[in-house]
Amino acid sequence: MSKEIKLPTFRLDGKTAIVTGATKGIGYAIAATFAAYGANVVITSRTPADCARCAAELTGAGGSCIGIAANSARKEEIDTVIAAAEERFGRVDILVNNAGISGETAPLLKQTEENFDKVIAVNLKGVFLFAQAAAGKMAADGQGGRIINIASVGGLIGGKGVAPYGASKAGVISLTKTMANEWARYGITVNAVCPGYVVTELNREFFADPAFKEKMERRTAVRRLGTVEEVAGPVLALASDCFSYMTGTTLLLDGGQTIGG
C-alpha cells in the first residue's frame, strides 16, 4: 500500500518577501523570480526612483510589489521598510539580504580605514540589522520565516586587493550560522548563498575585456561565467517550503571555482 507523499512546491503565493539591493543585478533577478512565483515583494535600494520603477515593472508578474528606498546600514531606515511591508501586506515571511558594495581595490598596506568601515557597514552590519529587524517580526508573528544572506566566494578565499570585501562576506557566512542556531526555535531558517563570477551591471565592463573574461572563466570548472538567473533559482528554493529543513548552510554557486577549476 503506497503512502501519500506531499509534493514539494516552489510557489510563494501569499508570502511577503523583502529583497535588499533589488533594483539591479542579482537582487532584481531574485525579486522578479519571487514575484513570478506569487510572492508580494518589497524592493529596496538607496534610490527612490529606481525602487518605484522596479516595483512598477514587477507588479502583475504574480504578487504585488512596492518599492521603499533605504540604506541597509541605517536602522531607522530598515525599520521604515519593515513597517511598510507590514502595513501593505500584513507580515514579513522572507528576507533576502542582497545589498552590498565592493569598495575600493587596493593591497592591504594601502587600504584605508574609511574604505574598510564603509564596506563593513553595508555588507556586514546591514545584514545584521535587517535580519535582526525581520526576525523579530517573524518571531512575534509565530509562523516562522526564511532569511537568505547573499555572501560571496570572496568570503571563502583570500582574494588580493579586496580585503574589506572578503572580510565582510566571511562575516556574513559566520553570522548566518549564529542566526540559524538562535532563531530555529522560532521556525526561522537562515542560509547563505555564495555566488562566484556572475555578470551584473556592476562588473559588465570588466568582463567586456575578452582577455579578462577568459582568465576568469578558466578559474571555474564549467569554463564560463554565471548568470543572475542561476543565483535567483537557488534563492527561490531556499525561500520555499522545499528547503524547510535546511538551515545554517552556505550554498556555493560558483561554477566549480572553489574546487580548483
* DSSP characters over 195-230: E-SB--TTTHHHHTSHHHHHHHHHTSSSSS-B-THH
Burial class (CB in 10 A: 0-12, 13-18, 19+), 233: middle
| Per-residue pLDDT tens over the stretch 145-179 | 999 999 999 999 988 999 999 999 999 999 999 99
pLDDT at position 261, please? 66
Within-domain flag for 239: yes
State whether residue 70 is helix, strand or coil. Answer: coil
pLDDT tier at 2, thresholds 50, 70, 90? low
Q: Is the pLDDT of residue 7 over 90?
A: no
Q: Is the alpha carbon torsion for 236, 242, 247, 248 positive or negative?
A: negative
Within-domain flag for 6: no
CATH of the domain at 54: 3.40.50.720
Within-domain flag for 30: yes
Tell how strand 250-253 and strand 188-195 pair up.
Answer: parallel
State whether residue 10 is helix, strand or coil. Answer: coil
Q: Which residues are catalytic?
A: 165
- Pick from 115, 156, 102, 151: which is nearest to 131 by CA? 151
Within-domain flag for 3: no
* Distance, first Cα to last Cα, the chain: 47
Which residues are CB-neighbours of 130 under 8 A, at least 6 positions away? Answer: 18, 20, 72, 78, 95, 97
Within-domain flag for 2: no
**Residue 124 CB neighbour total at 10 angstroms:** 23
pLDDT tier at 248, thresholds 50, 70, 90? very high
Give yes or no for a contact between 127 and 50, defined as CB atoms under 8 angstroms apart. no
pLDDT at position 8, please? 85
Look at the chain and report how many structural domains it folds into.
1
Residue numbers of the domain that contains 59:
16-252
DSSP state letter for 19: E
Within-domain flag for 10: no
Within-domain flag for 21: yes
Q: Is the pLDDT of residue 100 over 70?
A: yes
> Model's pTM, two decimal places?
0.95
Within-domain flag for 34: yes
